[in-house]
Amino acid sequence: MLSNTLYPLFTGLWQGVLISLLLFGPAFFKLINVGMKEGFRKGIWLATGVVISDLLVVALLIYGLSDIINHPLFQKIYSMVAALAMIAIGLKSTFHKYKAFLLSYSQSTVKGKNLWSGFLLNLVNPFTFILWFNLLSTVALKYESSINIQKDLSLNILGILMSIFLMDVLKVYLSNFIGKKISPRIFYFVNRYFGVIFILIGLFFIFTFVKLLL
């Protein structure tokens, strides 16, 4: 009886693992970056910001804002905002001077900054909304014949969120472990590599924006 009750939660847990392994969005690269540069605890704050933004998106979709999110005008504006944000972050990392990078490397970042950084970075990504819209639709369809559909749906989504957060924590731990093994100079080039990744993501969002205009 207990296993049947918690089945949606267990289903969400493995779904979350799969999603986390397949997703390589801006939040993923930021988690690795912060874990390597600023340590495990700062990375946890970033991961917390990411999961809070996921929770907010889920709440917005459940409480009837899916029509607005699916509106073409919203998608166009959001794609362009996301593109500009990603390119700005990428340019800052890519063209960061070495001496300035060493100075920032040695400085401690406020924990709350990483929380907001994770929250905003994940929220500004249009594919966060697309992902959760598709997930909610699929999960709701799975439990449409259930007697306790709201409970089962909630447990499944909770399982996904828990699993994604724990996987993010694991990414931070591993990246922090690697970060302790490399010198600041090597990380400087790693940081520039992440900058290029963000620029490419931004260009992809511009491509998405142009497609929406056609």
Q: Are 50 and 118 in contact (CB under 8 A)?
A: yes
Number of independent structural domains in the chain: 1
Domain assignment of residue 18, given as a range: 2-213
Q: Are 157 and 136 in contact (CB under 8 A)?
A: yes
Token code pair at residue 205: 């969002």
pTM for the predicted model, two decimal places: 0.82
Query: Which H or E run contains 202?
Result: helix 184-213
Q: Are 33 and 174 in contact (CB under 8 A)?
A: no
**Res 1: pLDDT:** 46
pLDDT one-digit tens code per residue, 135-164: 888 888 887 777 787 888 889 999 999 999
Kindly report the number of other CB atoms within 10 A of residue 14's CB atom: 12
The better pLDDT of the pair 48, 94 is held by 48
